[in-house]
């Protein structure tokens, strides 16, 4: 689903180039709809809650039960089922990526359709966090692979994705300073001046806050600390417009970038990584 006008513009332009005939058809249908005329049934499609669940709920029944506990916002059940998977020898990162994350994804997409509400998102987030905490505990004290600071940029409170990124980085041995949400650029500048940080991860979910990531990258360029940028408001085209930053789509991209940075890979090569 397209949620941001600037990403939508890029996607539409690409779609027009790839499939000009279908683009023209859709354009004509849009004009007809605007005039109040009837269009063919196939021109209208609506994703259902069932389709969303089918897309994300894992096949494995034990993992699916945990995903459902997150969807239901049942914190106790999520903790119990996470522990059960860990006791059965499941890898903590796999539990986060394969069972906890899909749950929050279902609730967020259902919310987008108007079929779920804010309290449901918040309860699902709490249930997911209850599981994430146990996964982190399972990993125990492992030698630090590097130090990453994770934040949601100024003006933005959407921290669910950032929390997942931080959890996955920790699960992969990185020490993470969680700076929270609505974080001021000057606080990050202060941090890189006072501590040795290998990488910053910045998240933005709104078109009104994404420029903040650019300003963050530019403001800490003096320190040489790179910024990995993610979240639904940004894409690789936007992040390519600032120098010491690289775009990542998933939490595992954040791990890939952090590993590349700490292994001394050249920054230019990291920016070209797919
Ligand atoms: C949940 C939600 C909320 C919750 C946030 C709760 C919380 N603690 O986070 C609440 C209800 C509080 C909320 C409030 C608002 N929201 Co809201 N919200 C959403 C919603 C439904 C889901 C976002 C989400 O959590 N997605 C799930 C997570 C897991 O995904 P993610 O954050 O993208 O992260 C993933 C990846 O991007 C990646 N990732 C994330 N960060 C990083 C970083 C790096 C380095 C890497 C590599 C990867 C990476 O990993 C994650 C896991 O896969 C979206 C719509 C949507 N479906 O996206 C709207 C949405 C983001 N909200 C929106 C708006 C407008 C608002 C409000 C302004 C509404 C209002 N009028 O009050 C306020 C904002 C207040 C503020 N100042 O921030 C708009 C933004 C529109 C725009 N174009 O800017 C959206 C898109 C809804 C819409 N369709 O209009 N919201």
CA of 180 to the centre of ligand 1 (A): 14
Kindly tell me if the per-residue pLDDT of 261 is higher than 90. yes
Taking alpha carbons only, the member of 182, 216, 181 closest to residue 200 is 216
Kindly tell me if the per-residue pLDDT of 171 is higher than 90. no
Query: What is the mean pLDDT of the segment spanning 78-104?
Result: 94
Query: What is the mean pLDDT of the segment spanning 148-154?
Result: 98
**Ligand 1 neighbourhood includes 23 CB (under 6 angstroms):** no
Query: What is the mean pLDDT of the segment spanning 60-87?
Result: 96
**Residue pointed to by tokens 């600037």:** 6
Kindly tell me if the per-residue pLDDT of 223 is higher than 90. yes
Give the pLDDT score at 176: 93
Indicate which atom in ligand 1 lies nearest the CA of residue 254. Answer: 47
CA of 151 to the centre of ligand 1 (A): 14
Indicate which atom in ligand 1 lies nearest the CA of residue 125. Answer: 8
Range scoring the smallest mean pLDDT among 39-48, 84-93, 148-157: 39-48
Give the pLDDT score at 237: 92
Give the pLDDT score at 39: 66
**Ligand 1 neighbourhood includes 44 CB (under 6 angstroms):** no
Give the pLDDT score at 77: 97
Q: Which residue has the higher pLDDT, 168 or 106?
A: 106
Q: How far is CA 146 from the centre of its chain?
A: 21
**Ligand 1 neighbourhood includes 212 CB (under 6 angstroms):** no
Query: What is the mean pLDDT of the segment spanning 229-251?
Result: 93
Indicate which atom in ligand 1 lies nearest the CA of residue 118. Answer: 11
Range scoring the smallest mean pLDDT among 39-53, 94-108, 193-207, 242-256: 39-53
CA of 50 to the centre of ligand 1 (A): 22
CA of 119 to the centre of ligand 1 (A): 14
**Ligand 1 neighbourhood includes 145 CB (under 6 angstroms):** no
């Amino acid at each position: 689903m397209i949620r941001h006008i600037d990403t939508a513009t890029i996607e539409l332009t690409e779609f027009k180039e790839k499939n000009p005939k279908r683009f023209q058809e859709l354009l004509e249908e849009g004009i007809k709809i605007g005039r109040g005329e009837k269009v063919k049934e196939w021109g209208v499609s609506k994703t259902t809650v069932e389709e969303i669940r089918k897309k994300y709920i894992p096949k494995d029944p034990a993992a699916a039960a945990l995903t459902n506990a997150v969807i239901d916002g049942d914190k106790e059940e999520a903790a119990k089922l996470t522990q059960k998977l860990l006791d059965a020898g499941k890898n903590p990162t796999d539990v986060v990526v394969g069972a906890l994350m899909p749950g929050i994804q279902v609730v967020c997409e259902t919310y987008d359709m108007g079929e779920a509400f804010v309290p449901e998102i918040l309860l699902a987030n709490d249930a997911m966090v209850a599981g994430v905490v146990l996964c982190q505990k399972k990993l125990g004290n492992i030698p630090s692979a590097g130090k990453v600071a994770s934040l949601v940029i100024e003006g933005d409170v959407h921290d669910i994705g950032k929390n997942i990124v931080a959890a996955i980085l920790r699960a992969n041995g990185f020490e993470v300073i969680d700076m929270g949400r609505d974080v001021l650029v000057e606080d990050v500048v202060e941090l890189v001046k006072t501590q040795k940080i290998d990488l910053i991860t910045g998240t933005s979910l709104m078109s009104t806050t994404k420029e903040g990531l650019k300003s963050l990258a530019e403001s800490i360029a003096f320190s040489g600390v790179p910024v990995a940028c993610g979240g639904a408001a940004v894409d690789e085209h936007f992040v390519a417009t600032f120098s010491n930053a690289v775009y990542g789509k998933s939490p595992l991209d954040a791990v890939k970038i952090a590993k590349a940075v700490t292994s001394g890979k050249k920054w230019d090569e990291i920016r070209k990584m797919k």
